[in-house]
Amino acid sequence: MNGVIALYKERGMTSHDCISQLRKILHTKKAGHTGTLDPNVDGVLPICIGQATKISELLMQSGKVYRGAITLGLAYDSEDLDGNLIEKVPIETPLDSKTIDQTLAQLTGDILQTPPMYSAVKVNGHKLYEYARKGITVHREPRPIHIDYFKQLKPATYDSDAQTQTIYFEVGCSKGTYVRTLAVDFGRLLDKPSVMSDLTRIKSGGFDISQCSTLEEVQTAMDHDQLASVLHPLTEALANYPVYQLDESRWQIVSHGGFLDQSICPQNAAVVRLDYQNNVKALYQFDDKVGQYRPFRMFIA
């Protein structure tokens, strides 16, 4: 049982809850996620099973795409609606679409982002949310992130009774990006309080939401001996790497952890996927010091 389940995580569940339930359904301990999702966020949560747990870190490095909403006029200590309201300023004149687009554009490219207090980042051996729950604010060093794009999905709406405005967005971003903080920074650029009021992850680890299965669907597939219908094989999970088909002699070298010369990849890619008899057996990485490809990840049971 090796592969990746592109799980649709429902709201109200933690990522750990999902792992725990999948382990019970699949009767395996070898399961790991590729980056957590907050309980109030739904969407794509790739879960690596069996030998695929060796590529969890690689899938985590891939970009992520989210769709959500930013509400102007309100600020929460958690930067989302799960926390406490800390500021409320009426939006008397709603922003026009051009101003919204220009402000979103300011938050693209390579930028520095300060992790929110309600996060699992550790400072002095303690997670930030542990400080936050005690009402303590500590210094956080800004971290580099990359935002591929940050755009409107549809026209913003204005609530004249609440005097708030809601912007609907899609963002493509790097690992380590806090979309909650992007929402707050958006408001800060306009000198207005803001909060992330909705969020769904629609792509992660190379899988999009159309490829996802719910826990119930995984259970049904397992009950009917149809796990292959929800378990994406390593060939699919590692489809972005150049592939070299091993012959018998080179398979013997790989099976013993040996090095291979550059002829396996004329494109000189940094990492090459090695297949033998239509099964992924290894990822090999080029070593500049020896001028050869060497084992990087092995999938030999």
Are residues 118 and 78 in contact, defined by beta-carbon separation less than 8 angstroms?
yes
For the purposes of burial, counting CB atoms within 10 Å of the CB of 182, is it exposed (0-12), middle (13-18) or buried (19 or more)? Answer: buried
Q: Which helix (H) or strand (E) holds 293?
A: strand 292-298
Select which of 17, 38, 191, 247 is catalytic.
Answer: 38
Is 198 assigned a catalytic role? no
Alpha carbon distance 106, 95 (integer Å)? 16
Among 188, 183, 212, which Cα is nearest to 198's? 183
What are the backbone angles phi and psi of residue 140, rounded to the nearest 5°? -125, 130
Q: Which residues are catalytic?
A: 38
